[in-house]
Amino acid sequence: MPAPRRERRKVAGSERVGVYTLLRFERGGLDAGIPGQFFMLELPGHVVPRPFSICLAPKGELGFLIDPVGPVTRELCELERGQEVSVFGPLGNGFRTDVDRPLLVGGGIGVAPLPYASQLMGKPPAILGFRTRHHAEAAKLVPKAEVCIEPTLVTELIPAVPMNVLACGPEPMLHAVHALVPDAQLAWEAPMACGFGACYGCVVEFESKSVRLCVEGPILNGRPPVLPVLNGSEEEKAE
Amino acid sequence: MILNASGCLDALTAPAVARKLDAYVVKTVTLEPRAGNPQPRLAETDFGMLNSIGLQNPGVERFCTEVLPRLEELGIPLWISVGGAEATEYAEVCARIGERATVHALELNLSCPNVDPAAEGAAEIVAAARAATEAPLYAKLSPLLPDVAGVAKSVLEAGATGLSLVNSLRGLALDEWTLEPRLGRGVGGYSGAALRPVALAAVFICYKATDGEVPIVGMGGVETGKHALDLIAAGASAVALGSILFRDPNAPERVRGELAEELSARGFKRPEEARGVAHRSQND
Ligand SMILES: Cc1cc2nc3c(=O)[nH]c(=O)nc-3n(C[C@H](O)[C@H](O)[C@H](O)COP(=O)(O)OP(=O)(O)OC[C@H]3O[C@@H](n4cnc5c(N)ncnc54)[C@H](O)[C@@H]3O)c2cc1C
Ligand SMILES: Cc1cc2nc3c(=O)[nH]c(=O)nc-3n(C[C@H](O)[C@H](O)[C@H](O)COP(=O)(O)O)c2cc1C
Ligand code: FES
């Protein structure tokens, strides 16, 4: 697994995708990591960085899909080409992608890690749920996606045959997917301050075990974590 | 001397960061395991951040069998932060950790804003801990104490070796739409830049009250070498990095370099020469 690095990266481009923004950075010396891994993006004037899933990894770039829900996400959506942000990653464990019968399941901004997963996994079937048609525009980032709009829920579309589900979305959706497919890989979320196990802010209970999502996740039932995160190898050298 | 603030670094997930410190301070250990507080546990707010981790830790038994041996393998001097609900609990944890060559000090967390405070006074807890161990004991005090100098003197009389100043303040942030608390527990610990002048005052007052004769670890909002120098000038003999580590894991090395430059720019050869200089022109 590639070691995380922290670098200042320039915005390579930004485009609206429905209510979301696809923000691309010049990749520099950073590795794109594997689907389900995340990066901490830090804006000047903010106390802690914020986690974002790697969404796309075009040649020489890193792409993130951002939902403007608060101060940092709103500022990220307004960034212009050439502006600089500190980017730290890839972090976390990521999805197991070598599965037999993959099915990607996303809800809302939970679509974010799926374009990259779809690309690396040879465009497996996908089911995406959104609140409105405007939100659903993001479905164009995932080939072969079946889309549903509320009140229809993604869990109503998951076929009864056994599938290896990779899911990302709001917590109620993840609970429903987990109930339906107990071994589903679930991209879980909690506010994070560090992304490398330092703060214990991201701890959640899963199957009566307490996990630090940034190191033992964010993918629950995903790949085993790679520890330590910052071990001092050459590639890790920060800024 | 540059340390991390307790609860702001895990040397097992980030040994590369811990190796840049003069000693690694572990997250507070209590007698029994603690699951910590419900989500959400973090929120950025004005001039700092809020946390309500709630002293999550495996308890002293598992700490000693599962965590401490792995920390010892790193070969870094260790400080163990000790917490509890009563003086007897603090004493028991200190006794269980025992005296070890790798453990250079115990820090008594007398001030976590995320758990209910111990019933006894700080001095009683320190005295109980002192009876249980011969290791150097640092009393970590809250910036919310109305008479920090008085408490500092009482814990030193009770057997503390030095002081750690300060723990986080208490803070609240509300969701922008629901206007409900953003942290699951409601109120949380407030750390970061806002704490800087508060920490500086606590160090300044306690240095003066103790005639500069006891070691003081200064912390609270340190982000640069200049912030570290300010604490040293106010009376700190060591500086600990807290919230800054979350966004800049390179902070120990960076702050050390910046501190050296700030010292030499003012004609100081070593940090010790700058200690307490803020008091030079102070008359009683
Ligand atoms: C591993 C991981 C990957 C993520 N990937 C993406 C992504 O690809 N695209 C994207 O748009 N967002 C993603 N997020 C969520 C994103 O990090 C938060 O929306 C962001 O931190 C909010 O910052 P803000 O300053 O805009 O708002 P804040 O003011 O920090 O928060 C706004 C509101 O969102 C809540 N909130 C903040 N962070 C989280 C969180 N992590 N989980 C649940 N609620 C939260 C807060 O409690 C508050 O109510 C991811 C989160 C994690 C943990
Ligand atoms: C996420 C977090 C967890 C903390 N956990 C502990 C702890 O377990 N024990 C303790 O004594 N202090 C704890 N603290 C307080 C810090 O050690 C420090 O006193 C405080 O954050 C002020 O420093 P700063 O402003 O540089 O962060 C914690 C602080 C934060 C932000
Ligand atoms: S985000 Fe800090 S421990 Fe996970």
Name A23's bridge partners: A14, A64
Contact A105, A118 (CB under 8 A): no
Regarding whether A111 and A82 lie in a shared domain, the answer is: no
Instruction: Say whether residue A122 is in contact with chain B using an 8 A CB cutoff.
Output: no
User: Is position A97 within any domain?
Assistant: no
Instruction: Say whether residue A208 is in contact with chain B using an 8 A CB cutoff.
Output: no
Regarding whether A144 and A47 lie in a shared domain, the answer is: no
pLDDT band at A123 (very low <50, low <70, confident <90, very high): very high
Regarding whether A107 and A57 lie in a shared domain, the answer is: no
CATH of domain B2-36+54-169+190-283: 3.20.20.70
Q: What are phi and psi of B235, to 5 degrees?
A: 135, 5
pLDDT band at B282 (very low <50, low <70, confident <90, very high): confident
B85 C-alpha to ligand 2 centroid (Å): 18
Q: What is the C-alpha to C-alpha distance for residues B154 and A152, in angstroms, rounded to an integer?
A: 65
3-state DSSP: chain A helix, strand, coil percent, rounded to 5?
A: 20, 35, 45
Q: What is the C-alpha to C-alpha distance for residues B126 and A220, in angstroms, rounded to an integer?
A: 42
- pLDDT value at residue A233: 67
What mean pLDDT, rounded, does chain B reach?
95
Regarding whether A122 and A68 lie in a shared domain, the answer is: no
pLDDT one-digit tens code per residue, B159-200: 999 999 999 999 999 999 999 999 999 999 999 999 999 999
Nearest-by-Cβ selection for B49 from A47, A198, A232: A47
Regarding whether A202 and A132 lie in a shared domain, the answer is: yes
Instruction: Say whether residue B8 is in contact with chain A using an 8 A CB cutoff.
Output: yes
User: Is position A116 within any domain?
Assistant: yes
User: Is position A234 within any domain?
Assistant: no
Handedness of CA A217, A219, A225, A230 (dihedral sign): negative
Report whether residue B191 contacts ligand 2, using a CB cutoff of 6 Å.
yes
**Looking at residue A15, which CATH number applies to its domain?**
2.40.30.10
Instruction: Say whether residue B9 is in contact with chain A using an 8 A CB cutoff.
Output: yes
B43 CA closest ligand 1 atom index:
30
* pLDDT higher than threshold 50 for residue A239: no
- Using the 3D structure, point to which of A71, A91, A111 is the last residue of a domain: A91
Regarding whether A76 and A14 lie in a shared domain, the answer is: yes
- pLDDT value at residue B119: 59
Interface predicted TM-score (ipTM): 0.95
User: Is position A226 within any domain?
Assistant: no
User: Is position A19 within any domain?
Assistant: yes
Using alpha carbons, select from B219, B241, B99 the residue that is nearest to residue B169. Answer: B219
pLDDT one-digit tens code per residue, B105-149: 999 999 876 666 665 689 999 999 999 999 999 999 999 998 999
- What is the domain range of residue A63? 5-91
> Best interface-test mutation with B: which of A230, A235, A239 has the largest number of B CBs within 10 A?
A230
What mean pLDDT, rounded, does chain A reach?
95
| Minimal-distance CA residue to ligand 1 atom 9 | A66
Quick one: how many helices (H) and strands (E) in chain A?
5, 14
pLDDT band at A2 (very low <50, low <70, confident <90, very high): confident
Nearest-by-Cβ selection for B19 from A42, A196, A232: A232
* pLDDT higher than threshold 80 for residue B226: yes
Regarding whether A72 and A140 lie in a shared domain, the answer is: no
A46 C-alpha to ligand 2 centroid (Å): 18
pLDDT one-digit tens code per residue, A41-77: 999 999 999 999 999 999 999 999 999 999 999 999 9
Regarding whether A111 and A86 lie in a shared domain, the answer is: no
A216 C-alpha to ligand 1 centroid (Å): 18
Using alpha carbons, select from A164, A9, A149 the residue that is nearest to residue A81. Answer: A9
Average pLDDT over residues A155-173: 95
Regarding whether A142 and A208 lie in a shared domain, the answer is: yes
- Token pair for A143: 């080939």
pLDDT one-digit tens code per residue, A75-121: 999 999 999 999 999 999 999 999 999 999 999 999 999 999 999 99
Residues 6+ positions from A106 with CB-CB distance below 8 Å: A112, A114, A126, A127, A128, A129, A142, A154, A167, A168, A169
**Looking at residue A128, which CATH number applies to its domain?**
3.40.50.80
Report whether residue A71 contacts ligand 1, using a CB cutoff of 6 Å.
yes
Regarding whether A203 and A154 lie in a shared domain, the answer is: yes
Regarding whether A115 and A84 lie in a shared domain, the answer is: no
Count of structural domains within chain A: 2
